[in-house]
């Protein structure tokens, strides 16, 4: 029994840790997310007013300044008017693809105006498109740039403030690349061809023609620069920040706080790989040319001059490119800027031979569970057309896989019920000698071939499945804004209802200081309560208290988790109840559920009686 007691103490401590995590971590994080959603809603409303002409917008936005660190309007709010003015401040080439719209800034040939057509800011399909890249004159400036570094013999080479000219087609589409040109006073002509596919990959091909009388040597660079960071800090289960796979170091990840501390990280030179900046669902990365070795670098800059206080940057610099008189050289790089769709990322890795590009999606240490879990859910989604139904079907399949082991566990539990009278007899016989009582219990287990912890296996088995599903729901964009039925419009977000306003029946919002607990969390708590009541109440008062309060604690704790995860847990509990009931009936063991429920309402005798 000492082993049993230790097991229940472990459960109690685990519940305590989870509760503290809920109160001091998840609740403040949810409040932060609610505040961010409120601010975003205000921004959307402001955009609507501006579109109706009721808001004149912000003051004029200054044009980009030399050096690539331009001016920006005061304050942290970016309105539609201020962004449109920043875009209009420079000449541009339009981008129009099935996945993207925006423009290329001819000053620096920057990708700094990019919106994702297939993704909106909220579940409302009429809400604004996701703005991935923004001009550097804005507080949330974020851009990708390819350029050159020269010397006195090369003359001026394309950089942050170079104004390119357009040849021919003024719009970039998957079927029509654009060509930009720049010629300097030393006889160097730069011809840049930019193409894009139907998804999110840009290819930048630079041909440099040396028409001068002397050989030249120059360097090709690329950078992804960002002046802000996500408003909501990432959790421990997800990496957001600077990332790359280069050289012998392989995967390199630096959260914003880490690079702020290190200032600069310079891995060894590489001949392949990629690097950039990643968010939860989106990323902007560079894939340097494989013709020249390059030096990758991750940096944090404190900017004392200008409106920006700091910037984050992932960049590369190739070895020297030497061009003899009358000769030319070509450098080709790619820029990924878009949504981290699993099939798209995997396709780029395979088709373009980009080393470990799949690591752009943070599958975690337990990727060998998480990736198959996603594959199964995604495959079932293609059959059912609903991710919620796919999660329910996944639960059934997982239960079927572990069916033999679960059957064995439930059968052992049923056998334990049969020997309950003998266990009570041993406790009474050795009430004053705990050592002999434990030895007698162990002998009984051995004789009857019973594992006292067998009932824990069904719960233990679903823990890795639970966390892998949580990871899938949290990191994959396929789950973002995926609806179920009824009031669940986003399986990756918490259930929007709350028990504290009777799930929306009362005309007020639930107070923010109360823990979030939606309707599906209540359903999950009820199924967990019923599952635990399938077994006899533990004789030990402490154990009985733990079993009584555990469903309540888990109900409050699960309220802040993604709705898809709560639905999974509730459905899994329901299947477990049915499975356990069938096995117990087959084994001839009494199902305690109805007796236990009735006992809760039965009047207990007073101590005097």
Q: Rounded mean pLDDT of 485-490?
A: 88
3-class SS letters over 47-89: HHHHHCCCCCCCCCCCCCCHHHCCCCCCCCCCCHHHHHHHHHC
Using left for φ > 0, alpha for ψ between -120 and 50, and beta otherwise, residue 271 falls in: alpha
Region 466-472: mean pLDDT is: 82
Q: At what angle do helices 387-401 and 403-418 cross, to 10 degrees?
A: 60
Q: For 334-349, what is the mean pLDDT?
A: 96
357-374 pLDDT, tens digit per residue, is 999 999 988 888 899 999
Give CA–CA dist 428/236, Å, rounded. Answer: 49
pLDDT confidence of 68, banded at 50, 70, 90? very low
Instruction: Select the highest-mean-pLDDT range: 52-61, 446-455, 554-563.
Output: 554-563
Render the burial of 548-566: b for 16+ CB within 10 Å, e for the rest. Answer: eebbebbbbbbbbbbbbbb
Q: What is the pLDDT of residue 58?
A: 31
User: Tokens 């403030």 belong to which residue?
Assistant: 161
**Residue 90: per-residue pLDDT:** 92
Share of the chain above pLDDT 90, in %: 42
The pLDDT score that the predictor gives to residue 580 is 78
The pair of structure tokens assigned to 528 is: 């967990």
Of 114, 117, 68, 53, nearest to 87 by C-alpha is 114
pLDDT the model gives residue 221: 96
Contacts of 217 (CB under 8 A, 6+ apart): 151, 153, 154, 320, 321, 322, 323
What residues contact residue 506 under an 8 Å CB cut-off, 6+ apart?
A: none
- Partner residues linked to 415 by β-bridges: none
Is the pLDDT assigned to residue 59 strictly greater than 50?
no
What confidence tens digit (pLDDT) does each residue in 176-222 have? 999 999 999 888 999 999 999 999 999 999 999 999 888 999 999 99
pLDDT for 2:
43
Question: Residue for token digits 């440099």?
Answer: 208
Q: Whole-model pTM?
A: 0.79
Which residues have C-beta within 8 Å of that of residue 218, sequence separation ≥ 6?
A: 148, 149, 150, 151, 154, 157, 208, 320, 321, 323
> Residue 53's pLDDT is what?
41
Query: Rounded CA gap, 464 and 567, in Å?
Result: 17
Q: What is the structure's pLDDT at 165?
A: 94
Where residue 533 falls among pLDDT bands split at 50, 70, 90? confident
């Amino acid at each position: 029994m000492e082993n049993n007691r230790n097991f229940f103490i472990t459960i109690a401590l685990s519940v305590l840790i989870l509760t503290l995590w809920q109160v001091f971590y998840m609740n403040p994080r949810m409040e932060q997310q609610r505040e961010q959603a409120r601010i975003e809603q205000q921004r959307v409303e402001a955009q609507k007013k501006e579109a109706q002409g009721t808001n004149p917008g912000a003051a004029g936005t200054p044009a980009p300044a030399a050096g690539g660190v331009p001016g920006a309007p005061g304050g942290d709010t970016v309105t539609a008017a201020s962004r449109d003015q920043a875009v209009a401040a420079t000449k541009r080439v339009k981008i129009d693809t099935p996945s993207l719209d925006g423009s290329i800034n001819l000053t620096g040939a920057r990708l700094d105006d990019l919106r994702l057509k297939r993704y909106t800011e909220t579940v409302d399909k009429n809400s604004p498109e996701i703005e991935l890249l923004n001009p550097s004159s804005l507080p949330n400036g974020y851009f990708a740039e390819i350029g050159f570094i020269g010397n006195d013999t090369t003359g001026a080479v394309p950089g942050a403030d170079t104004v390119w000219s357009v040849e021919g087609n003024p719009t970039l589409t998957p079927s029509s690349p654009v060509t930009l040109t720049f010629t300097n006073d030393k006889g160097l002509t730069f011809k840049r061809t930019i193409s894009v596919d139907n998804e999110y990959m840009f290819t930048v091909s630079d041909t440099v023609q040396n028409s001068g009388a002397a050989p030249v040597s120059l360097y090709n660079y690329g950078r992804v620069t960002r002046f802000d960071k996500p408003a909501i800090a990432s959790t421990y289960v997800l990496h957001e920040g600077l990332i790359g796979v280069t050289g012998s170091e392989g995967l390199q990840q630096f959260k914003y706080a880490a690079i702020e501390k290190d200032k600069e990280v310079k891995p060894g030179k590489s001949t392949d790989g990629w690097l950039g900046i990643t968010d939860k669902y989106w990323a902007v990365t560079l894939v340097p040319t494989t013709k020249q070795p390059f030096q990758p670098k991750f940096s944090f800059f404190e900017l004392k001059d200008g409106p920006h206080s700091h910037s984050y940057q992932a960049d590369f610099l190739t070895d020297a490119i030497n061009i003899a008189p009358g000769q030319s050289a070509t450098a080709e790089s790619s820029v990924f800027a878009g949504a981290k769709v699993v099939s798209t990322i995997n396709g780029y890795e395979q088709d373009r031979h980009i080393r470990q590009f799949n690591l752009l999606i943070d599958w975690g240490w337990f990727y060998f569970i998480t990736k198959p879990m996603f594959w199964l859910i995604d495959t079932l989604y293609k059959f059912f057309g609903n991710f919620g139904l796919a999660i329910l079907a996944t639960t059934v399949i997982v239960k079927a896989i572990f069916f033999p082991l679960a059957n064995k566990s439930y059968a052992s539990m049923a056998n334990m019920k049969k020997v309950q009278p003998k266990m009570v007899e041993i406790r009474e016989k050795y009430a004053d000698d705990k050592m002999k009582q434990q030895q007698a219990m162990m002998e009984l287990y051995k004789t009857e071939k019973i594992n006292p912890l067998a009932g824990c296996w069904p719960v233990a088995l679903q823990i890795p499945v639970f966390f892998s599903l949580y990871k899938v729901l949290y990191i994959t964009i396929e789950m973002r804004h995926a609806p179920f039925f009824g009031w669940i419009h986003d399986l990756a977000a918490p259930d929007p209802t709350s028990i504290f306003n009777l799930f929306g029946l009362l005309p007020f919002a639930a107070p923010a200081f109360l823990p979030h607990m939606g309707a599906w969390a209540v359903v999950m708590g009820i199924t967990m309560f019923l599952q635990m009541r399938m077994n006899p109440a533990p004789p030990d008062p402490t154990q009985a208290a733990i079993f009584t309060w555990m469903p309540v604690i888990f109900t409050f704790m699960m309220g802040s988790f993604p709705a898809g995860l709560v639905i999974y847990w509730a459905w899994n509990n329901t299947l477990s109840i049915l499975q356990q009931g069938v096995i117990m009936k087959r084994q001839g063991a009494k199902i305690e559920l109805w007796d236990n429920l009735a006992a809760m309402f039965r009047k207990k005798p007073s101590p005097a009686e």
